[in-house]
Amino acid sequence: MSKRIFTKEQIGKLLQNPCVAKCSAKSITYNPDFKVSAVRQHKEQCATVKEIFVRAGFDLEMIGRETPRWCLKRWSRIYKAKGAEKLAEERRGRLGRPRTRKLTSADRIKRLEAENAYLKAENDFLAKLRAKRAE
């Protein structure tokens, strides 16, 4: 995590950029179209990271010289693994264990059966471990 903190003036300037969806004192949320476009420019046109961000109107001194490189690296990894649709999807705050509130009965049963099988396997492993220690 970066230690930079944007001032109100910097936040205002960043929010004027069409490539920025949101901005707070500690982070910038980039427009999904910009993410996809940046990855494609980097892959297809062999544009450098610096060129892409400068052409998009970003001040590298303000956002940090290394920030664009790390952003494009992360976006490229997602683009390669999951495609442009997943890259354009905002996932911040929705990581981790999936919610179970909106599961159908069949999906819930399937999930509980998988959990049950996992717990049985864990119990078997622990029983074997205890038996080995008792020897």
| Model pLDDT for residues 76-118, shown as the tens digit of each residue | 998 888 888 888 776 655 566 666 677 788 988 999 999 999 9
Residue 2 covered by a domain: no
Please check whether residues 30 and 82 belong to one and the same domain.
Answer: yes
Residue 1 covered by a domain: no
In the chain, the number of structural domains is 2
Residue 3 covered by a domain: no
Residue 91 corresponds to which tokens in the numbers above?
A: 């996932």
Note the helical H segments in 1-135. Answer: 8-16, 32-44, 49-55, 60-63, 67-82, 84-88, 105-134
Which is more confidently placed, 93 or 37? 37
Residue 116 covered by a domain: yes
Nearest-5° angle of CA 78, CA 60, CA 24? 70
